[in-house]
Structure 1
Amino acid sequence: MDALDAAAAGITRHGLEWASDLTGGRRGTFAAYLGVGAEPPTLPLLSALVDAGHRVLLPVCEPELELSWVYWTPESGFVRSRFAPIQEPVGERHSTAVTLDATAIFLPATAVDFSGNRIGQGGGYYDKFLATLAALSSASGSSAAGRASDAVPLPTVAVVYDTEVLPAGSIPAESFDRKVDAALTPGGIIRLR
């Protein structure tokens, strides 16, 4: 097994365990993404989530740094995004509001630190999505009790390689940044903050 296959296997095993812990073994809905290029591979995790009975939402990049969401299955097709260097699912698009009913969010990142700060690809799509989700949650009164004010209203896990989890305070946070709860690596789930 090569390093990429081993990483995919670890991410799938630990990501599926995290999902099961959150749902108590019941079915849930997870907003996720398709890892491409040098990103940690997530396709096996996406398939495993669906095989376990969960629903999976994948993003589509829209104008003005907006994300829409498509319910994905292993039979879904992908097309090259018009706005970002990613593959996007083909299907009916839903607004960010659809993610309010999700169980949790698997986020892309190039690194996270133990303070819960994350670095993305720099495009700004996820920063805007997380801010919009927090605002929608506040407006609907559905914010989870006990969550920090800079947190997203749903549990979040950034998918990174083991070496991309950095000491607390390593990543500077901007006012628009939202902290993540955990890192999902090939080696396991790492609780942050």
Structure 2
Amino acid sequence: MNGGLNSEPTTKAEWRKHTRTLYAQRLSPELRETASQTIISALREEIERRAPQSIGMYAPLGDEPEISPLLEELRERYQLFLPRVESETEIAFYPYLGVEELERTSKYQILEPTQGKEEAVAPESLELIVVPALAFDKGGYRLGRGKGYYDRYLAHTQAYRIGVSLDLAPIGRLPRGAWDLPMDLVITPERSYLGTRFHPSAFDIEDQGDRQTSIYLQIKNKYSPQIPNLDED
């Protein structure tokens, strides 16, 4: 049956179901902590290398990388902004002033800034944005939660896009529409790799029988925590 654990999903809805099933079965607090620390290390290095003035971050849900310690670390040196759900279709990013200034204001129970709407940063002002996801494919395309908030927001900003995921369900190629935008860099617990916005060949090299893969999928393999081989579960 499509979307089952032993078959390849064919739609995004099936991929979400498949991925959430794997997360429910395999994501322990210990695994999340270990994976998140590895992602934080790689993310910190990339942010320091690029040195942006303004950064869009996020307050994590339970199946997303736990980057809260990095928020506190970076806010002393950078302008940080977090998203808030504004409507059924839109999010906006507001200044991050510390965890004590966040509250769960939307039906999604995400920690969000509480400032007035006039304080939202203009999308075109962000220089870098960190985007969480259930998973990314090898081209840097995102498997989100199906609401399209980030898709709409990313269409209005030229910020450098870094995708982060615990990556319990690696995906070769996601189905996508014209509105789907790839990340510039994807960081997972086991690797970091460039997406296809500036490097289209990172996605389109075919397996010719000799297991050829794009060089863009080989960078930054030094980020490699001691995580159990989930394929053996």
- What TM-score does the superposition give when structure 1 sets the normalisation length? 0.76
Partner of 1:124: 148
Count matched residues: 168
Aligned to 1:146: none
Which structure carries more relative contact order (alpha carbon 8 Å, separation 6+)? 1
Aligned to 1:44, the other structure's residue is in SS state helix
Query: Which one has the largest radius of gyration?
Result: 2
Confirm or deny that 1:37 pairs with 2:65: no
Q: Which residue of 2 aligns with 1:145?
A: none
Letter in 1 for 2:140: G
* 1:11 maps to 2:39: yes
Alpha-carbon contact 2:58-2:131 (below 8 Å) kept? yes
CA separation of 1:83/1:65 partners in 2, compared to 1, >3 Å: closer, same or farther? farther
* Structure 1: gaps of 5 or more residues: 135-152
Q: CA deviation at 1:45?
A: 2.1
| Residue 161 of structure 1, aligned match among 141, 159, 166 | 166
% same residue: 25
Q: Which residue of 2 aligns with 1:47?
A: 72
Whichever structure has more strand as a proportion of its residues is: 1
Structure 2 residue 45 is the aligned partner of structure 1 residue 21? no
- Give the distance between the partners of 1:22 and 1:94, measured in 2 at CA: 28
Q: When the two structures are superposed, what TM-score results if normalisation uses the length of structure 2?
A: 0.64
Q: Tell me, what secondary structure is at the counterpart of 1:183?
A: strand
Q: Deviations over 1:104-142 (max 9, x none)?
A: 1101211111222111111121111122x15xxxxxxxx
Q: 1:185 to 1:55 in 2, by over 3 A?
A: same
Q: Where in structure 2 are the equivalents of 1:132-147 lying within 5 Å? A: 133-134=156-157
TM-superposed CA distance for 1:88, in Å, is 1.0
Which structure 2 residue ranges, 5 or more long, are not aligned? Answer: 1-28, 197-233
Partner residue in 2 for 1:114: 138
Contact 1:33–1:107 (Cα < 8 Å) also in 2: yes
